[in-house]
Chain A
Amino acid sequence: MTEPVLAIRDLELTFGRWRRSKVLHGVSLHVRAGEKVALVGESGSGKSVTARLAMGLLQETGNVDVAGSIRVDGVEAAAGGRQIRRLRGRRVAMIFQDPTSALNPAFRIRGQFREVLRTAEPGLSDREADARAEAALAEVSIPDPARALNSYAFQLSGGMNQRVMIAMALANRPSLLIADEPGTALDVTVQAQTLELMRDLAATRGTAVLLISHNLGVVREFADRVYVIYRGRIVEHARTAQLFSDPRHPYTRALLAAIPKISGGGLPDLPERSPDFENPRIVHEGCAEPWELRP
C-alpha cells in the first residue's frame, strides 16, 4: 500500500516553557489519498491543535514542545520548518471556521487569490491568475466570479466567503485538505451546502480530507472513518458505520447520546468527566494504523 497522505504517530504536544501543560498525549492517525477522515471531539480535546501541528503552523509560534512524528505528503513536519512551509497552500490546504474573518479585510479577493495561486507558481501573470481564479470560483458555483474577485470579504455573505475559501484551498490541487470545523459560524443550511460542495470537489480531484468537528451529525454524513479524540488522546477509531452502529468507548457512547434528536427526548446529561473516559484506545476491526500492520 502507498504511504498515507497524512500520518501522525504518537504525537505529543506541550505548551509553555515554564508553566508547562501537556495537551496531546500520543495521538496517532492517518489519512490516505482520496479518503475522508473525521477527527471528532469536544472543544479543548486537542483536535484543532492537531490540525495546526500537521500544517506546521503551531510550531512557528515557538513556545511549543512537540514529540512524535507527523508525515505530510512524505515530509516530516513535526518540527515545523521550511519543508512543511513550502507544502502549505500547494500540497496541504486548510479551511477555517469563520470564512469571513479568515479573509483579509484590507484586500480584495482578487489579490488574495493571486497570492494563493502564486505560492504554487511564482511567475504567474496577473491575467493568467485571474482567469484561473474565475474558473475556480465558477467551480464552487459562485454566480458572478468576476464580481466576487473585485469584492472585499465583508461585502460578500458568509456562504459566499466559504465558497471562496474552498475554491482557494483547492486551487493548487492539494493532496490533503484540512477542514477545521468548516462553517460552524454559518447557518446550518449553508454549512450543509458547503460541506457537500467540499465533498464533491475533493472526490473528483482525489483530495484527501481531514475534517475536524464536534458535530457527529456532520461527521456521519461526511466521513469514511472517524477518530474520536478526548483530552489529547484518541479513544476510538472506526469506520463511520461501525462507530455509529457499535460505539464501544464510553466517551463515544456519551458523545452519541448527546446528539439532539428532532424526534424529541431532549439532551441527555453528558458527564463532563468520567473515569470510564480514560479507558484505553479502542480500534475497530480493519482500522489499524499502517505501521501497526507490519510485524
Chain B
Amino acid sequence: MDASRAALSRTTRPTRSGNRMEPWIERAVRLAGLSAIFIVALIFIFLIRLSLPALTRIPLSAFGDLRWYPIEERFGLVSLVVGSLLVTAVAVGIAVPLGLVTAIYLGEIAPPWLGDILKPLIEILAGIPSIVLGFVGWVALAPLVQRLGAPTGLTAFTGGLILAYMALPTIISIAEDAIDAVPKSYRDGSLALGATRWQTIYRVVLPAARSGIVTAVMLGIGRAVGETMAVMMVTGNAAHVPRGTSMLFQPVRTMTATIAAEMGEVARGGTHYHVLFLIGALLFLITFAINSVAARLVGRRRTGEGGG
C-alpha cells in the first residue's frame, strides 16, 4: 500500500500542484456553468418585471390594434410581430436550403483542398458586422429590389435577403461540422450495399447528422429573428400589416428595429418604455420557443437511436 502510494506520488510529481488545484478548477467550471443559467434567469426576470406595468396599464385588447403609433398611445403589436415573422420567413426560406446544400457540397462532394479554402472564407463572412451588411443592403440591394417592380426598395424581402446572407455562414459551418462528424464507416457500409452517392448522402449521412443540422437551422433562425441594425436600414420601418400577393414587397417594421429606434428617446417609466420591454420579452419568448422546438427535435432523434 505504502509502496504503491509512493510510486503513484512519484509518477504524478510533476502535476502535484495540478492535483491540489483540481477541486478549485472543478468549482470554477461549475460556477461558470451555473452563472450562464443565472444570467439568463436574471435577464428574463428583468424583462418580465419591466414589461409587467405595460400589461397592467393598457388593456390586452389594445395590443391587437393594427396601428403602432406610440406618441399617440397606440400600441398595436400586430404589425410588428407580422413584420418580424415575414422578414424571418424570407430569410429562412432562402438561407436554409442554400445553407444545407452548401454544407453537403463542402462535406461530401467538394475535393478536400477546395473545402479547406472555402470553409475559412465562409467563417469570415460570419464576422462581417451587421451594420456593414445593412449599408450594402441600403446602397446596393434596395435599388435592385426596386427595379424588380416594388414601389420602394425598402421591403420585407430586402430585409430577408440581408438576413439570409447573415444566417448562411452559421448554418453552413455548423451543418458541415455535423456532416463531417458522421463516421466514415456509415458511408462505406451504404456504398458497399450498392447505394449511389446521392442515396448515401440523403438516406444515411443526413439522418445521422440530423441533430447537428437542426441546431444549425435553429441558430440561423435565431440570428435572423434577433438581428436589428441591418434590418432597420433596409425594411423601411413602416408599422403596417402588409396584405395581398405583393406582401413581401411592402415595407415592414420589425420588433427589434422598433426597440432600437425608440428606446433612446422614450421617457423612463412611461407606458411606451414598458411596452418596449414587453416587445423584448416577446422576442425572448420567441427565441426560447425556437430553441425548445430544436431541443425536442434533437432529443426525439436521440431516443430513437437508443431504441433502435
A, B bound? no
**Interface on B for A, CB 8 Å cutoff?**
none
